[in-house]
Amino acid sequence: MITIIGNSATYRAHRRMRGWLAAILTGAALLFGPCAQAVTRCVATVNGGKDGNDYGLLNAFSEANNGAEGTTWDIRLRYGTYQLADSLEFEPAGNKDNKAFYLSGGWNADCSSRTGDASNTIVRGVAPTQNTYGTDFRFIGNNARYDIEYIRFEYFTEFKVDDGFCYDGSICPDTESVYLAYNEFRSGEGLHLNVFDAKKFAFRNNLVAKMVPVNLIGSYVDFAPVGIRVRNNEEAPQIIFNTFADLDCGGATGGVQLLSRNSNVALHHNIIQSTGCTKDLIIDPDESGKTVTPYYNLFLSSGGLVGGNVADDGNVQNFNPMFVDAFNGNYRLANGSPAINKGETVLGAAQDGFSISPVDLDNKFRPIGTRFDIGSYESGVIDGTPSVLTVNKDDDVDNGDCTLDHCSLREAINRANSQVGTPQRIAFNIAGSCPRLILLDSALPDITDSVWINGSSQPGSAQNDQDLGSDAQVCILIGPGATMNHAIGVPTSASATTRLTVDGLGFGNSFFAFSTAPIELRSGSGHKISGSVFGGYLPPGNNPTQVGSLGRAIYLNGTAKNVTIGGLGNADRNYFGSMGQNGIVMASASNTGVTIQNNYIGVQPNGLAAQTNSGAAISISGGKDGTIVDNAICASDAGIELIGTNTTGFTIQRNNIGVNAAGYGVATHANNTGILIGLGSNNHIIGAAPLDDVQQGTYSNFIDNNNDDGIQIASNLGSNNTVSGFISIRGNLIEGNGRSGSGVGIDLGASLAQLANDSGDADAGANTLQNHPVIKGTRPNGGLNLDDHAALNTLPGQPLRVDVYYAATCSAAKGANATTLIGSIDVSSGASGVVNFTVPVVDPVLPGFLTATATTALGQTSELAPCVPSDTIFKDGYQALGL
């Protein structure tokens, strides 16, 4: 996809290479984003014509199918029943795809407001029989978005959503999301969802009931009543708070059959009840399926790649969920149901990183009681009163209690600490307009028992729901009224089970400062910091207000582990700016399992403008097995800094480094270095792992616009000077680094320049100073492909993977750019260590440049090879091969 915006830097960085390369290969016209044109259709009948606000369901679908490529279609169904005589399909042709498609029910007469109730908007097909094939509801193709909400679908052969497989050489716009929520699917044969490349997938708060196979004469049943296949490995898919009931397999397979290539599937709070199935739930091992761990579900039996311990993970094994009246279609929970109050607590869900559903399928608030009910409906049964302490004063007075007349944040924390073993939630209801400032006289009491400090509960607050930028309202601000180490801390003495959850708070300095950081974590496990502001600007970005500068923002040390900073959802995003030192800091080898996800660091909450940090955005000098993913990191000294032998095993993926959240950058967005690794830090993955297959035309991290190196692996790598340590750098988009005049995309040894190969590759240093391939030229091999001829001179007897990249530009002074992966091959260096090979690559058609990296089986990646014009064939001549 090419989106043209007013300046060349913006244009360059907005290339999304998969769609861009496919468009070049087919000579396609430029594609524009899914918001190029938005069309809303209000529907009251099947065929239209009832009144001025009735386009008709079939007419609206026909328009959506035939509308221009890249448009947005919002089809709104008024209350009522829509009886169809035939199938209903949204399946635009390939030259009319890339659309954002919204289908929703529950709208009023002019479609200006909606009440969430699927049972009042019914789209009814024709049931199949042994002699006839019934209605299909089909939503298929390479489109930007599928959103389906608040509709009851009845009587069908198949309900299917399929975002389309991308074949080599095809135009494949990325699907942003597949989202089905608050729907009912009743009296059909099968519900089948195929997700190939959608970044986000959610199936939540739905009822799927009475899925019964109907054998056409001469046929047999070989499909699951509910089949969900997720082949993308980006954001964690969500299958949560659904009721799957009366699923009849005819003995064929599982009631709910899930295949996922993402092991981080959120599979929780579902009821799965089947009859005649081999298992209620099957995690399919085919097609690279991953193990999935279910939490807080109700089912009797499971099979396949089911992870964890079913009972210990909160699941209820019971055949009878005890519905009110399943025979007549009422799948609400009867009193005494084993699903009632058997889910997670609100605090536990927040600390475990579960996405929750604040309302059920009847649009009732949930949970009622201390725990969620399992399934799509929440009962009225209360098992106790949740522990909530409400802060109602913005002073820092401590009168020894927390009462309706006076409860400061200090008093609330003291009270929460005193309730040992009972997790507490601290809410806010402080009188006055937003924001409210709490000026501390000293650090707040240490957190010694699990607590959720819920700043988003303050009236006037709002959580962000925007993919780009933020519309959050942060109403509780905390600042130092004297010099102190921190505002909120978990001390070394706290138990290993202590959990701190913070959301919706803002932190800034005044005339005084936090000498360590506003939040300091030295013990405990499962902490989560989300939706908060650390220095710089408050959201929303269109009305910027500064909260002041900070030294550091979040500091981890001691034994704190399994910490999440940010999170998967838009509401989880934190904002960091105006840091005088390093922003997020980890300093202990015991800080394991930390996830830093979806934060804006050095970019304002609007996701666009920079807010400068003096130190590193993320500085890790101790810790292992962490994940840094989906962040926008710019305007800092180093974007990500991994240093020291105690820092091992980090995975860095899908970050924008040196550019803003929209993917473009100018001088103010530049980091000095994108990713800096040194002082013995090793065993990290930047992009793809050594042996991963990476799809052509895709990329993980976007590393661009940095003043010096994009990725610098310093020569002082310690253990990384041997074959035991590695930095795997594969499948990233790396371009435009070295703004200062020196610096390359990948730099082994911190020379800020291209490293020369050595014969035999016997030298030692960062990533063993692995030699890079030498590209000798390309030759057409027919169709849309080229043969890329190359050589490699390296240590004898080792297997390597060579990745070949294309870029439109190359600067000899700054080294090669790698904007599009166009081919990969596995080679062996053999007894001599010198290997010639040919890589089949996609022909970029337009003139440009090729480069490549070599990665050993252990994961040691070379620098980018010097760029070679993509349309030139070179002779070997007297050049020593691979040098």
- Could you report the average pLDDT of every consecutive run of 10 residues in the chain (883 residues)? 25 28 26 51 90 90 94 95 95 92 94 86 91 91 94 96 74 83 95 90 96 60 79 85 92 85 92 92 90 96 93 92 93 92 88 84 85 93 73 93 90 90 88 94 95 93 92 95 96 94 94 94 95 95 80 97 92 95 96 96 96 97 95 97 95 97 95 95 94 88 96 68 74 95 92 90 90 88 77 93 94 85 92 90 85 94 92 42 44
What single-letter amino acid sits at 177?
Answer: S
Bridge pairing between strands 785-793 and 271-275: unpaired
Report the alpha-carbon distance of residue 561 to residue 567 in Å, rounded.
16
What pLDDT is attached to residue 223? 66
Long-range contacts of 283-290 (CB under 8 A, 24+ apart): 283/258, 283/259, 283/307, 284/229, 284/257, 284/258, 284/259, 286/259, 287/229, 287/231, 287/259, 287/261, 288/261, 289/259, 289/260, 289/261, 290/260, 290/261, 290/262, 290/263
Q: What is the DSSP string of 789-835?
A: EEEEE--TT-EEEEEEEEES--BTTTB--B-EEEEEEEEE-TTTSEE
List of E strands, 665-793:
673-678, 684-687, 702-704, 711-713, 727-730, 733-735, 746-748, 774-780, 785-793
* 294 contacts 306 by C-beta, under 8 angstroms: yes
* 216 contacts 253 by C-beta, under 8 angstroms: no
Nearest CA-CA partner of 105 in 46, 148, 50: 148
484 Cβ neighbours under 8 A, 6+ residues apart: 440, 442, 443, 512, 514, 515
Strand partners, 476: 436, 505
Report the alpha-carbon distance of residue 122 to residue 80 in Å, rounded.
6
Report the alpha-carbon distance of residue 417 to residue 423 in Å, rounded.
9
Strand partners, 677: 642, 713
| Chain centre distance of CA 98 | 21
Report the alpha-carbon distance of residue 578 to residue 148 in Å, rounded.
41
571 Cβ neighbours under 8 A, 6+ residues apart: 463, 464, 465, 472, 503, 530, 531
User: Which residue, chain included where needed, has tokens 């100073």?
Assistant: 769
Tell me: cis bond preceding 294? Omega within 30 of 0 counts: no
* 137 contacts 103 by C-beta, under 8 angstroms: no
* 98 contacts 27 by C-beta, under 8 angstroms: no
Tokens found for residue 102? 């919204």
Report the alpha-carbon distance of residue 51 to residue 176 in Å, rounded.
35
Cβ atoms within 10 Å, residue 263: 14
What pLDDT is attached to residue 104? 96
| Chain centre distance of CA 543 | 27
Report the alpha-carbon distance of residue 630 to residue 716 in Å, rounded.
29
What pLDDT is attached to residue 385? 54
Cβ atoms within 10 Å, residue 32: 17
Q: How far is CA 294 from CA 18, 281, 288, 313, in A?
A: 34, 10, 19, 7
Rg of the chain on CA atoms, in Å: 28
Q: Is 551 helix (H, G, I), strand (E, B) or coil?
A: coil
Report the alpha-carbon distance of residue 131 to residue 649 in Å, rounded.
59
Nearest CA-CA partner of 281 in 261, 310, 241: 310
Nearest CA-CA partner of 768 in 778, 758, 776: 758
Burial class of 317 by CB neighbour count within 10 A (0 to 12, 13 to 18, 19+): middle
List of E strands, 378-513:
388-391, 424-428, 436-440, 451-454, 476-480, 488-490, 500-503, 505-507
31: DSSP letter: P
